[in-house]
Structure 1
Amino acid sequence: MAAVSTRDVPDHGIDEDRIADLKLILSETKLRLMQQLLASPTGALSSPELGARNEITESTIRDHLSDLRSREPQIVTTLEPSESPVPNGIPRTYFAVTEYGIDLLKQVGLYEQIGLLYDLYSAADLELQDPESHPVTLEDIESYEHRPTPDWF
């Protein structure tokens, strides 16, 4: 049997980059982080806030979010507070799911439960990981008046 050349394979309009992005967001941890970002009141959370919602380290959280930021177009982006200098202990980087990331979640049917997650996290008693090492509390971070919100949220 003769080998089939790629020239002989019809183009079915498959967007291989989008398929790769869909596979990436379907990783349990990345999916959970994206949903947590969207289930927050501001649509953007810092790594300490995400750490309070997960049993993985802030470093691991940042690694997962870096994977999502490295895609083109970005699935997750970073935002900075609207005022400088930022008080000691308040995060300087916040993460938000992009419009493209929201589209991906909708495509796989995992966007609709964001409202339920919002209610869950609003009722949860969250605490920073290793609170003794932070000069501020989770409440200080959450109530910081200059924290960013994505304009598409």
Structure 2
Amino acid sequence: MPQMANETLKAELGNAAWKLLHTILARYPEAPVESEKVYLKRYIESFAQVYPCGDCARHFIKLLQQYPPQIGSRKSAAMWGCFIHNKVNERLAKPRYDCTTILEDYDCGCGADELLGDEGHDTPETSPRPGTTGLQDRESRQHLDSIRVESSEERVGG
């Protein structure tokens, strides 16, 4: 990923990214099934790989290698996320975040609704997205495959 030059935009991106990550971790199941663990681990690893700020992505990837995601429960995931955030804050000479309130601080406002659970169906590689059927996913993939982007640039965005 290309390096970002505007520190204000970089900080805004970081704040939004941390809010999303902490909110996801605060909504993670208290007793996740294996597929939920796989999904979260893949999400975190993918998040690091596609993060738009090159320096931040590289640092985050190194942190993931040193401190792998703790995905055994909601509390362990949220505390891991707070720990990682504090490692970043330490590197940036920012104040440490008090992790004791992390679950309360990142309430998404979704109430008590629960995500779809694992009913023993397909693996994460083959299962349809929540709320869709396999047919809908195949149609979406076919639609995406049919889209062609015309560009003379080899690399867009940087």
TM-score by length of 1: 0.32
If each structure's helix is expressed as a fraction of its own residues, which one has the higher value? 2
TM-score by length of 2: 0.31
